[in-house]
Amino acid sequence: MENVKTLGEFIIEQQTDFHGSTGEFSSLLSAIRLASKVVNQQVNKAGLMSHILGSAGGTNIQGEDQQKLDVFANNQFIKALTGRKVICGIASEENDEYIPINNDGRYIIAMDPLDGSSNIEVNVSIGTIFSIYHRITPVGQQVRAEDFLQKGSQQVAAGYVIYGSSTMLVYTTGNGVNGFTYDPGIGVYFLSHPDMKFPAQGKVYSMNEGNMNKCSAGVKQYIEYCKHVDSATKRPYTGRYIGSLVADFHRNLIKGGIYMYPATTDSENGKLRLLYECNPLAFIAEQAGGKASDGYRRIMDIEPVNLHQRVPFFTGNTHMVDKLEELIKQEK
Ligand code: AHG
Ligand code: MN
Ligand code: MN
């Protein structure tokens, strides 16, 4: 076990040069680490436990069925984060309103506690996504909406957990991206992917192509471009779409590629949520040398107006997002 670093060691090492080393941020990351282990344990048992599988019978604010694991994951993350006292408020996909926590806390968090939940019953990778900010209202008061409606460029950290063939936690504090793989035998995350970067040449495109005829001309042209045969640019690209944003993003980060969830004729802002899906992955993408755009603007420059707002989302290798933006901008 020489030369291996645990997530715990890594957090302590980083703490000394981060945010005045009060230990508060480390405590926050520890809460996420802990909750992810509890969720991981349930995810692994999901196929065995009929009381975990299936719908919890409710719907969230977007009218989507809440799966039992959604609710379980949400509760676990809220419980772990509330216990640490450093968080003053939580916004979650599964809660209509933000949740005020400890007025003396300095950090707020926005999260998608279980991403890709339609994939639970078919044993495909799912995830958790989180985004962390400093509050902007004074410490000591209850948090307000403005604490959550900050631009993505204000994030102090962001990350995701992927519950896959291995479970990994990948995060950034604005100083590169690091990935940790979980050893379930001993309950420890190890640094397995230091300083993650998109490979120079992306070769995967990921989109629900069933929506193609509901997309704008620029997006359609880009899909045609991906399929076009051209050896100089290594096309056609490979099509890969899991339907779990975290898993699609993670594969593209490692292999090189672009993820697309565009506007469609029946959803003018696409499907994905700015605060707890797009902004955190945009921060990671940029830190890994990639890019994230809504087709016109940098995702992290968008001024949020509500907690659950959606936005068209294109992220991955910079050269791929640039080409797509060029075609989208030309269509007008
Ligand atoms: P969630 O499970 O948190 O609601 O997110 C589902 C999202 C995302 O994970 C995925 O990329 C996308 O929905 C898939 O949408 P389509 O089924 O429309 O392709
Ligand atoms: Mn999601
Ligand atoms: Mn979700």
Q: What is the CATH number of the domain that holds 12?
A: 3.30.540.10
So what's the pLDDT on residue 318? 98
pLDDT at 68: 85
169 and 263 share one domain: no
Q: What is the pLDDT of residue 13?
A: 86
Nearest bound ligand to CA 248?
Answer: 1
Residue at 295: amino acid letter: G
Q: DSSP code of 275?
A: I
Q: Check pLDDT > 70 for residue 19.
A: no
Nearest ligand to residue 120 Cα: 1
Percentage of the chain modeled with pLDDT above 70: 93
Q: What is the CATH number of the domain that holds 319?
A: 3.40.190.80
pLDDT tens digit sequence for 165-223: 999 999 999 999 999 999 999 999 999 999 999 999 999 999 999 999 999 999 999 99
Residue nearest to atom 6 of ligand 1 (CA): 116
Is 272 a domain residue? Answer: yes
| Any domain includes 41 | yes
Q: Whose CA is nearest to atom 14 of ligand 1?
A: 243
Pocket of ligand 1 (CB under 6 A): 64, 93, 112, 115-117, 208, 243-245, 271
The residue among 147, 163, 193 that closes a domain is: 193
Q: Whose CA is nearest to atom 15 of ligand 1?
A: 243
The pLDDT assigned to 65 comes to 65
Q: How far is the CA of 37 from the centre of ligand 1 (A)?
A: 23
What mean pLDDT is predicted for residues 143-159? 98
* Token pair 């030309």 in the structure block, residue: 330
- Please state, rounded to an integer, the average pLDDT across all residues of the chain: 93
Looking at the fold, whether 65 and 163 belong to one and the same domain comes out as yes
Domain count for the chain, please give it. Answer: 2
For 51-73, how does the pLDDT look when each residue is reduced to its tens digit (9 = 90+)? 666 677 777 777 776 668 999 99
Q: Give the closest residue (by CA) to ligand 1 atom 17.
A: 243
Query: What integer pLDDT is reported at residue 296 of this predicted model?
Result: 97
Same domain, 15 and 137: yes
Which of 67, 120, 126, 271 should be mutated for ligand 1, with most atoms under 8 A from CB? 271
Same domain for 49 and 172, yes or no, is: yes
Same domain for 40 and 177, yes or no, is yes
Report the pLDDT value the prediction gives residue 52, as an integer from 0 to 100: 67
- Does residue 113 have a cis bond before it (omega within 30 degrees)? no
Q: Could you tell me the residue range of the domain that residue 46 belongs to?
A: 7-193
Which residue, 169, 193, 217, sits at the end of a domain? 193
**Mean pLDDT across the stretch 67-88?**
92
| Segment 5-18, tens digit of pLDDT | 999 999 988 876 55
> Does 285 reside within a domain?
yes
Give the pLDDT confidence score for residue 21 in this predicted structure. 60
Average pLDDT, integer, range 296-305: 98
248 and 274, same structural domain? Answer: yes
Q: How confident is the model at residue 24 (pLDDT cuts 50, 70, 90)?
A: confident
Task: State phi, psi for 303 to the nearest 5 degrees.
Answer: -85, 110
Residues 6+ apart with CB under 8 A from 85: 27, 102, 104, 105
pLDDT at residue 50 greater than cutoff 70: no
> Which ligand 1 atom sits nearest the alpha carbon of residue 64?
4
Same domain, 260 and 139: no
Question: Ligand 3 centre from 159 Cα, in Å?
Answer: 15
